[in-house]
């Protein structure tokens, strides 16, 4: 459920008419709803009520510091994948004791920064990474709390680019090899083993791959216990999907119930790393129609492009497109394309979309996750504004970039002067 709805044919975000925001900030812009973010976070977190757990929001899905602050206020932690995300999380006020650091390629400066910040744990993905963390921790005379991300070889049945839990993917350590790595880690002076982690993929629409994974993790924990290695945290990652089009993903409550049952009486703190399921349907991208073209095919050229929302181009992802002001004209099948010089620059292809005329506003739905965070300056397009609605108010939480922002940090060397 989200808080975007029509009132007298005009799209509202909570209690604010979207055209009002467009008039104030210009287009395109990302628009998030506080009530929806709060509702989704709470519904997810409540699905694990009564169980010792920590919900660490996956920062990469939507990393604006205002959004991170909201989840921190709701008691959430953060799942980060870079030093930059650590900086964002700390700036937003996330408790470092609730931050887990995932990702396959952490650099030493990033590792030192995380150690000095006192994060909860590193989710390590290789023995070489373990050595790097041991070296940094020894230098700083600190102890690094670690878990290893194991790869359970489970098929998440999602898009190949966002499958991470198969043996052929670059992620984690094969579950059959992981025991040896844990035994090696036990002997290192500045390493404290605290967890086992896992993340099998994104936009999963069934619970069974999660359940298969939990079963494999439980077997693995029993084997570790046999070696005298006790685990405090079991991190099962994120990945729960949302409805973009016709998907019917399990509700957080169903997912939570299934995970609980699979865990049985396991005495660990459960860590969850949801991203998309919390923010995906809490945000839209508002764009303006520039031109329409009809030939062999109908094209609607809008002012947002693949640099602003990469998912359709990157994953062939479907995003619903709806009018901001509902007219009488109805819908038609068309391509909604951006201004970028690439044929791959589209927001929708051969999709039922509103019959639109230049100057009209359109809303691209389900754009809250992997929307702004994947945007770029390609074609030297300033990155768009981000706006957060709260009841009757709206707030600019990231101003639109300027042309000066585009060349910040660039320089013409002396020999060209
Ligand atoms: C991307 C990612 C997540 C979040 O995935 P969602 O599908 O957005 O829930 C969680 N954990 C790790 C390690 C990730 O890389």
Q: Is residue 369 part of a domain?
A: yes
- Taking the centre of ligand 1 as the mean of its atom positions, its distance from the CA of residue 81, in whole angstroms, is 9
- Helix (H) or strand (E) holding 155, with range, is none
Q: Is residue 374 part of a domain?
A: yes
Q: Is residue 40 part of a domain?
A: no
Same domain, 220 and 349: no
Quickly state the pLDDT bin for 156 (edges 50, 70, 90). confident
Cβ 158 under 6 angstroms from ligand 1: no
* Alpha carbon distance 60, 372 (integer Å): 10
- Taking the centre of ligand 1 as the mean of its atom positions, its distance from the CA of residue 268, in whole angstroms, is 21
Q: Of 212, 246, 272, which residue is a domain's last? A: 272
> What mean pLDDT do residues 151-179 have?
85
> Domain containing 206 — which CATH number?
3.20.20.10
Residue 278: predicted pLDDT? 98
Same domain, 376 and 237: no
What residues make up the domain containing 314? 4-32+280-407
Residue whose token pair is 């062999």: 296
Residue 148: predicted pLDDT? 97
Q: Per the structure block, which two tokens stand in for 155?
A: 């098929």
> What mean pLDDT do residues 307-321 have?
96
Residue whose token pair is 């990702």: 103
User: What is the rounded average pLDDT for all residues in the chain?
Assistant: 96
- pLDDT (tens digit per residue) in 274-298: 999 999 999 999 999 999 999 889 9
Same domain, 252 and 298: no
Quickly state the pLDDT bin for 326 (edges 50, 70, 90). very high
On the question of pLDDT at 158 being above 90, the answer is no
What residues pair up with 272 in beta bridges, in sequence order? 55
What phi-psi label fits residue 201: left (phi over 0), alpha (psi between -120 and 50 degrees) or beta?
left
Same domain, 263 and 332: no
> What mean pLDDT do residues 255-267 have?
94
Same domain, 204 and 315: no
On the question of pLDDT at 124 being above 90, the answer is yes
Pocket probe mutation, ligand 1, options 275, 278, 282, 283, max atoms within 8 Å of Cβ? 275
Q: Is residue 362 part of a domain?
A: yes
CA nearest neighbour of 220 among 163, 275, 181: 181
- Helix (H) or strand (E) holding 81, with range, is none
State whether residue 258 is helix, strand or coil: helix
Q: Does the reported pTM lie above 0.75?
A: yes
- pLDDT (tens digit per residue) in 341-375: 888 999 999 999 999 999 999 999 999 999 999 99
Same domain, 252 and 303: no
* Alpha carbon distance 54, 60 (integer Å): 18
- Taking the centre of ligand 1 as the mean of its atom positions, its distance from the CA of residue 39, in whole angstroms, is 19
> What mean pLDDT do residues 204-217 have?
95
Same domain, 286 and 265: no
On the question of pLDDT at 165 being above 80, the answer is no
Q: Of 272, 304, 335, which residue is a domain's last? A: 272
Check if 341 is active-site.
yes
Other Cβ atoms closer than 10 A to 243: 14
Same domain, 251 and 287: no
Residue 94: predicted pLDDT? 98
> What mean pLDDT do residues 188-210 have?
96
Same domain, 317 and 359: yes
* Alpha carbon distance 199, 189 (integer Å): 28
Residue 225: predicted pLDDT? 95
Residue 161: predicted pLDDT? 80
Q: Of 244, 272, 300, which residue is a domain's last? A: 272
Q: Is residue 414 part of a domain?
A: no
């Amino acid at each position: 459920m989200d808080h975007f709805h029509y009132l007298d044919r005009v799209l509202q975000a909570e209690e604010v008419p979207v055209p009002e925001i467009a008039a104030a900030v210009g287009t395109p812009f990302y628009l998030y709803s506080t009530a929806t973010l709060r509702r989704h976070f709470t519904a997810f977190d409540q699905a694990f009520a009564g169980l010792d757990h920590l919900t660490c929001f996956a920062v990469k899905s939507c990393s604006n510091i205002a959004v991170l602050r909201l989840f921190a206020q709701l008691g959430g932690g953060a799942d980060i994948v870079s030093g930059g995300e650590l900086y964002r999380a700390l700036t937003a006020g996330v408790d470092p004791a609730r931050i887990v650091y995932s990702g396959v390629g952490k650099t030493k400066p990033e590792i030192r920064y995380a150690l000095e910040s006192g994060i909860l744990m590193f989710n390590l993905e290789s023995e070489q990474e373990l050595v790097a963390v041991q070296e940094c921790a020894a230098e700083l005379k600190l102890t690094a709390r670690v878990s290893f991300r194991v790869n359970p070889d489970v098929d998440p049945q999602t898009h190949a680019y966002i499958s991470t839990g198969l043996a052929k993917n670059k992620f984690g350590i094969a579950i059959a090899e992981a025991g040896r790595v844990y035994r090696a880690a036990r002997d290192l002076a500045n390493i404290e083993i605290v967890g086992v982690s896992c993340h099998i993929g994104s936009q999963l629409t069934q619970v069974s791959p999660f359940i298969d994974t939990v079963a494999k993790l439980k077997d693995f924990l029993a084997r570790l216990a046999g070696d005298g290695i006790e685990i405090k945290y079991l991190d099962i990652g994120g990945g729960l999907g949302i409805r973009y089009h016709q998907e019917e993903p399990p509700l957080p409550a169903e997912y939570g119930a299934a995970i609980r049952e699979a865990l049985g009486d396991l005495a660990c703190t459960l860590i969850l790393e949801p991203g998309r399921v919390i923010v995906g349907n809490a945000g839209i991208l508002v764009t303006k129609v520039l031109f329409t073209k009809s030939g062999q095919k109908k094209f609607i050229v809008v002012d947002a492009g693949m640099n602003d929302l990469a998912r359709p181009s990157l994953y062939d992802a479907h995003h619903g497109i709806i009018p901001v002001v509902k007219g009488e004209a109805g819908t038609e099948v068309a391509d909604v394309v951006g201004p970028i010089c690439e044929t791959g620059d589209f927001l929708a292809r051969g999709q039922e979309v509103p019959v639109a005329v230049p100057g009209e506003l359109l809303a691209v739905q389900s754009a809250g996750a992997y929307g702004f965070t994947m945007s770029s300056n390609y074609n030297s397009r300033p990155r768009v504004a981000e706006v957060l609605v709260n009841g009757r108010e709206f707030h600019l939480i990231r101003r639109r970039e300027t042309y000066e922002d585009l060349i910040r940090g660039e320089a013409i060397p002396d020999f060209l002067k």
